Structure 1
């Protein structure tokens, strides 16, 4: 047996983490008077604003009760009951309140000129991770970005477009699926990389290549979000029966170790690439604080998802008519977390 898991977020959880990210980013750029004319997003379900709606995959959230607290109450493909972190960050920089998905045909280059999302739920640094749920691999996100650049130059002209691409803020949030949906679930990578430390180093190499590539394409201001306390995600706790559904500490230790390597990479790239401003916007600590002390931050529950029973976090349970779907997502830290599927490998 194997499992697919796509971790989804409560809007209140997003706001809590987003406050930390905005403070970090504003201290970096706002204090220097730098302008941010656009927000450009790469990553996984934590920042996907709906691209998976337009590819043949099961990893979608384009149905109720998703989006019930979004503008208009519509499910947009965001894995949340409301807006996600890039939306809030965009608004904090005086731009639009919601960043559109690049593959959504309802939008065009005039909409994307101040913000665009290439992220795909279920993807990772590792191309093999994207194959698990047939989603967009990171290399393809970059190809879409190149296509976007050409459209932007046709729309604004070369000089203005290149300036916008250079001054834009790039948000990157990715990596959790590489461990929880690939390395620890499927045998191929574990056969190739005998220890998780070796796999981490492999991912760091992929991450370095990614950042160098988008740097070569003009990106200069980049925020990298590391791994969350992934052992405390609802599904991981649900199946941790022997430890009474507590957080899986060794998953958290892997996240900490990998985040440390990402921090090393940030330092290295800032030194090696002239003009690069890569920020390590690590939200691990604040997320763990909220998970371990939810009442301190205004939450009642931090151990299960809005669409789960506390024992199983399954996608089919996230339905407006399901008795297991919570009435008030704001009470749960992982309020609109769902879509945990099981399948035979």
Structure 2
């Protein structure tokens, strides 16, 4: 029965809500799973995806800077809440102003809650500082009262944590559970400070995506005999997503008006990895566009049947699945309520 419900939800078409339910703005924070082009404007030391064959299934076959073949999850969420387009990358709009009024995407590939292995990227602390600039711009244009009302009714989406875990795993002994607990607590404490900061700035509705099967991405599989998943890294991801879930429950209890949807990506993927064909995936290990995924690469033709786009990132099909389940799914995968319920609270 659970699998039938899962498949039924995946068949949903994502359409904009009625006018009464449209949110004012969508503010997006995170890493390469949410970046729509901010890293295009950073130094060459930052990871980039603004070249073919990235974006081959995006309208116009445009390599926007998204680390996949088409759309990412926040693009589908933006469409669902009735925005005319997915919010622009913060760095793409030097004039700010009117283009910022319906939301902004601050996400930066390679970033994390704390410092990561990547340099010259925009971490979550800096992304929040950039949001403060946007909020200040709103206040000068539409006034304090309108800005406060807009922020309180907007969605604040986070897709982060994977790069923190990659960085942590580099130096962590999987058998040292005491140190692992301490490090996970350190990351989640910092995340708590960041979410609390946004709450103090007026944010009330949050969408947070958990980390998934990090040990099963192609680049990590290379480290395991038989090209299998690295279960120690999967377990670390499971640990972090459970800690994040507990953190959000605590914030909801202690901060009046704090409401959230936790997109439990790990839980979403359990049935997919157990029976990929049932969910339309025929290839779970190999990347559709092998590294370095450039014009010299030979990419797969049946992209909707591939789980992985490149060595680190999923295909548009996976992002669409995650978006739909977070939008419409039951508490098992969208906890405690899904986005549909969240925007109607």
TM-score range, shorter chain: 0.7 to 0.9
Structure 1: distance between partners of 2:53 and 2:94: 22
User: What TM-score, normalized to structure 2?
Assistant: 0.80
Structure 1 equivalent of residue 56 of structure 2? 68
Unaligned runs of 5+ in 1: 1-15, 309-313, 340-345
Q: How many residues align?
A: 301
Q: 2:184 aligns with which of 200, 219, 224?
A: 200
Pairwise CA RMSD: 2.8
Q: What residue is the counterpart of 1:320 in the other structure?
A: 295
> Which sections of structure 2, spanning at least 5 residues, go unmatched?
1-5, 314-345
- Aligned ranges 1:224-243 → 2 under 5 Å: 224-241=208-225
Confirm or deny: 8 A CA contact 2:30 2:158 kept in the other structure: yes
| Contact 2:22–2:82 under 8 Å retained in 1 | no
The structure whose RCO (Cα within 8 Å, separation 6+) is larger is 1
2:23 is equivalent to residue 39 of structure 1? no
In structure 2, C-alpha distance between the alignment counterparts of 1:134 and 1:290, rounded to whole Å: 35
Q: Distance in 1 between the 2:36 and 2:211 partners?
A: 19
CA offsets 1:148-194 (integer angstroms, 9 cap, x no match):
101122232222222111110111110011111x112258x99xx97
- How big is the shift at 1:58? 3.4
Matching residue of 1:311? none
Equivalent of residue 170 in structure 2, options 185, 191, 194: 185
Distance 1:36 1:288 in 2: 31
1:173 alignment counterpart:
159
CA distance in structure 2 between the partners assigned to 1:337 and 1:151 by the alignment: 39
- SS for the counterpart of 1:304 is strand
* 1:276 to partner: Cα distance: 0.7
Match of 1:329 in 2: 303
> CA offsets per residue over residues 253-298 of structure 1, 9 Å max, x none?
1111211111111111001111110222212121232233221111
- For the Cα contact (< 8 Å) 1:80–1:337, is it kept in 2? no
Structure 1 residues 337, 98: closer, same or farther in 2, change over 3 A? farther
Q: Give SS of 1:132's match.
A: coil
For the Cα contact (< 8 Å) 1:237–1:247, is it kept in 2?
Answer: yes
- Please give the TM-score of this superposition, normalised by the length of structure 1: 0.80
Deviations 1:198-236 (A, max 9, x none): 110101110110111000011100011111111111211
